[in-house]
Amino acid sequence: MRGDKYLARPEDGQAILDILESSASKGGIELLYTRRPDAYASYMKEFGEARVFVSRRGDRLAGTCAELVRDVYINGQPAKAAYLCGLKKQVAPGEHAGFGPDLFFALQRDDIDFYYCSVVKENGAARHMLEGNHRLLRVSPLADFRTYMLSPKVRIKAPVYDYIFRQATPDDHEALLAFYRAQGQNKDLFPVISAFEDFQGLSIRNFYLLLRGKEILAAGALWRQSDYKQYVVKAYRGVMKGARALNPLLSLLGYIKLPPRDVPLDFPMLSFFLCRDDDEAAQRVFLKEMVREVRKTDEMFVIGLPREHAVSLVLDKVPNLHFDTTLYEISFPWSQRPNNKVRAHHIFPECGLL
């Protein structure tokens, strides 16, 4: 099969990790997204099917990328989408990453309905790599996405309510799966959930419910993934350079304490956050209760949302650190099979899977 020569092997894990860690995102906080201790093994733990590609120059690797194929909803129906990520090279200036046309033929498959990726807005190098060959690959903006790093001290305004908020139990399993089927199909690129254990490190007990009687109004999970993929602050730049000295003040103001450099962050991510019919009052109530829950164990948590999401507008008004990414649709000009059409205002990928 064309492109098989680029498939990585398990023993490439350390070399792939070296490439992933060769540079961090730019900006006031240089943030490294990595996959320690073994990058190949990390990809294999992802939800769905993972294929990792590398380019070789003699006995060293020059470039890498991964294709994560997952079942998601598009236009209310289950579909198969490929998320392209980890596209990075470690070569001398001006030197080619070593991937040839066969890689693009390997990425495209007849059983995949949609291709997409995400790029941190400051990452011009990745943007250049993606946009460099219109003959084999085309990218077009799909949605803006913001990832928030929040202190559980933030105050979320919510209406007075008499809902029940509690941790899920095994008895909630079928009702919760039914809730995600019903609400998830309204969100393009949201994962099709058949079993919670399909996601590394996740079980029914990671989920929390907002109930009206026995009806689930909202649900979400606190998901830790730091044992196989991490965020690491590499440097503080500009106005952020001396900010760590202000940690006591930042904490009083409701921000997270700025972490030390070169130490992987350990935090829960608020994942799989859906609310019945996108009810904004219930969204606020659930978020307020989740903040209280995180406060019991952690000093920070993370949530990622499309910029136009109602909760994103709420979080913009509370103390937060964040970074922005753009989701791109990817297409192959030479392919006879076009992507499925997603609904621009219904895009809602799970941040923990980006």
pLDDT digit string, tens, across residues 52-72: 999 998 888 999 999 999 999
Domain count, the chain: 2
The pLDDT of residue 306 is above 90: yes
Question: Which of 47, 45, 46, 22 has its CA nearest to residue 33?
Answer: 22
- pLDDT value of position 120: 87
Residue 162 and residue 287 share a domain: yes
Question: Which of 105, 109, 116, 120 has its CA nearest to residue 140?
Answer: 116
What is the CATH number for 239?
Answer: 3.40.630.30
Task: Report helix, strand or coil for 221.
Answer: strand
Average pLDDT over residues 231-236: 92
Residue 200 and residue 307 share a domain: yes
Q: Say how far apart CA 16 and CA 58 lie, in whole Å.
A: 15
Using 50, 70 and 90 to split pLDDT, how confident is the model at 232? very high
Residue 23 and residue 163 share a domain: no
Residue 41 and residue 182 share a domain: no
User: Could you count the other beta carbons within 10 Å of the beta carbon of residue 148?
Assistant: 22
Q: Which residues pair with 235 in a beta bridge?
A: 30
The pLDDT of residue 1 is above 60: no
Q: Say how far apart CA 77 and CA 75 lie, in whole Å.
A: 6
Residue 68 and residue 135 share a domain: yes
What pTM was computed for the model? 0.93
Residue 238 and residue 189 share a domain: no
Residue 168 and residue 73 share a domain: no
Q: Are 84 and 118 in contact (CB under 8 A)?
A: no
pLDDT tens for 90-125 read 876 666 667 888 888 899 999 999 999 999 887 776
Q: Are 123 and 25 in contact (CB under 8 A)?
A: yes
Average pLDDT over residues 159-177: 96
The pLDDT of residue 10 is above 90: yes
Q: Which residues pair with 148 in a beta bridge?
A: 303, 322
Residue 191 and residue 209 share a domain: yes
Using 50, 70 and 90 to split pLDDT, how confident is the model at 336? confident
Q: Say how far apart CA 62 and CA 87 lie, in whole Å.
A: 11
The rounded mean pLDDT for the chain is: 92
Residue 241 and residue 204 share a domain: no
For the ranges 90-99, 254-263, 266-275, 322-331, which has the lowest average pLDDT? 90-99
Residue 205 and residue 293 share a domain: yes
- pLDDT value of position 247: 86
Residue 221 and residue 237 share a domain: no
Domain of residue 39: give its range: 4-145+228-258+325-353
Residue 120 and residue 93 share a domain: yes
β-pairing, 207-212 vs 321-331, is unpaired
Using 50, 70 and 90 to split pLDDT, how confident is the model at 335? confident
Q: Are 32 and 77 in contact (CB under 8 A)?
A: no
